[in-house]
Amino acid sequence: MAAPRKATVVLKTVRTIAAQFCPFESNSRSTREFLVRVSSEKSRASNIKCEVTTTVKHDKSEPVVDVTYMDGERLVMKGARLTSKEMLSEFQSRCSAKDLSK
């Protein structure tokens, strides 16, 4: 049986995504998984102007994803306390809400 297909992340309402994490910390997994999804070719094609940056640190700092939307609103997610599924769910719900409001 084939695995269920994951929905493509749409970046139409997003200006920037900045992620930072220490790759040697076990709590960075959700942040890395989130980055894989928003950095996919299909996701990036939904908004080629969206800037995705990654800062890899080796200082045991907490993994953080900082999203800035086109309207200036920011979403800061601390990956140590969230799963990648929770991060994607919140991210996509805000993107959908902003897309419908236009």
Mean of the pLDDT values across residues 44-73?
Answer: 94
Q: For 9-14, what is the mean pLDDT?
A: 93
Fold for 14-81, please state it: Glutaredoxin (3.40.30)
Q: How do the domains of the chain map onto residue ranges?
A: 14-81
> Is residue 51's pLDDT more than 90?
yes
Would the pLDDT of 64 be above 70? yes
Mean of the pLDDT values across residues 18-32? Answer: 94
* Angle formed by the axes of helices 29-38 and 84-100, nearest 10°: 40
For residue 91, list its beta bridge partners. Answer: none
Residue closest to 73 by CA, chosen among 93, 94, 42, 102: 94
The 10s digit of each residue's pLDDT in 72-102 is 999 999 999 999 999 999 999 999 998 876 5
